[in-house]
Structures are given as C-alpha cells and as structure tokens.
Amino acid sequence: MAQKDRLKWDTKYSDGHHLIEKGEASFMLKRFYHKAPAKRALDVACGTGRNALFLAEHGFEVDALDISPVGLQRLQGHAEQISGAGTVNCQVVDLDEYSPPKANYDLIVVTNYLNRCLIPKLARELREGGVLVIDTFMVDSRSGAQDFNPDYLLRAGELPTYFDGAFEVLAFEDARKGRCNTALLKQAIAVRKIPA
C-alpha cells in the first residue's frame, strides 16, 4: 500500500497545476498556533507544506512528514526562501508504520488526511500545554462527491470523541465548507493538552 500511495502523491505533486496543497495554512491552525507553549511543531501528511511553511515563518522548528519525496522536495525548496527564524526538517515517512516519540511537540497539525489509529498516538506526542489541530474531510451525502472512500472521511461529530478529559477543546467546527477544489465538507478541531 505504501508504494502505491507514494506513486499516487508523487504523480500529483509532479504536476505544477495540482490544487490540493496550494493556498493558505489551515484556518484552525492560524487561529491557535500562538497558543503553543513553545516552538517545536510537527506537520503530519504535509504534502508540499503550506502549514509547515506558515509555522516556520512564525519561528517554529517544524518536522514535516509525508510519504511523497516529490512533495517534500518542493517543500524544502520553498523552506529555503523563508525569511522567518523557523526551520523545516522534511522526512519521508509511511504514516501507517509511524511510531512517534512521546511528548516531543508543542504543536501538531494534520490537514486533509485521516488515519484514525494515528490520532491517539499524536495526542500522546504533545507536551503539556501543547496544541493539536486536525482539519480534514467528512462524510457528506449532500455534496454529490460520492467517489471518496468513506474510510478516509470523518463522521459527523467524530473528532471530539478522540479526546478525553486530559484535553481542552479550544474549538470544533463540523460540516464547514472546504476550499480544496472539492465539494466535500470538512471538520476541524483544536485541542490543548491540559498540564497535569
């Protein structure tokens, strides 16, 4: 599966006209990045890195993970142009096999990617007071976009169910219109790990 995914995304990112990762950083990330207690961040399934670049421009040291070497190469080229104090460290990673280090990040962002088994692992990666932002697509029978695999789409109200009393929900939006050239609606959450 990993090789098939890598080829799929390498092909998309090789096309200069792809739209999936162009544009601004996640609206939820832009609302809450400043709540992170320090400047160590992780961008999961970063693609060509719009979120990683935003964070680096705001002084973060960002680990950017993706399965596509082509996407990461494009990100690295843009990262070298950043005038901010931050850095981007690109890593080719198969997220199905990823075992994150515990309590290593002040901020984690995941957009346009859903791996339900990974969400609890990412929550454990946060340092106390750290912020986790997830912003991705959800099931939407009204959209007419029926060619998406439902395994990779959130159900209504699903994101908050992954976080227990150890987390404060800073914001949650369900059924928000997406901006990535797709008819699918999106769901987004920002949570903060409550200090013990």
pLDDT tens-digit map of 98-121: 887 777 999 999 999 999 999 999
Type of residue found at 48 = T
- For the chain, the average pLDDT equals 85
Distances (CA, A) of 130 to 37, 68, 125, 134: 6, 27, 9, 14
Percent residues over pLDDT 70 in the chain: 82
Q: Could you tell me where the DSSP H helices lie in the chain?
A: 2-14, 27-32, 50-57, 69-79, 118-125
- pLDDT score of 51: 96
In the block, tokens 């990045």 appear at 33
Whether the per-residue pLDDT at 3 is higher than 60: the answer is yes
pTM higher than 0.75: yes
- CATH number for the domain formed by residue range(s) 2-10+24-193: 3.40.50.150
- Return d(Cα 148, Cα 96) in angstroms, integer: 19
The residue-averaged pLDDT of 12-27 equals: 69
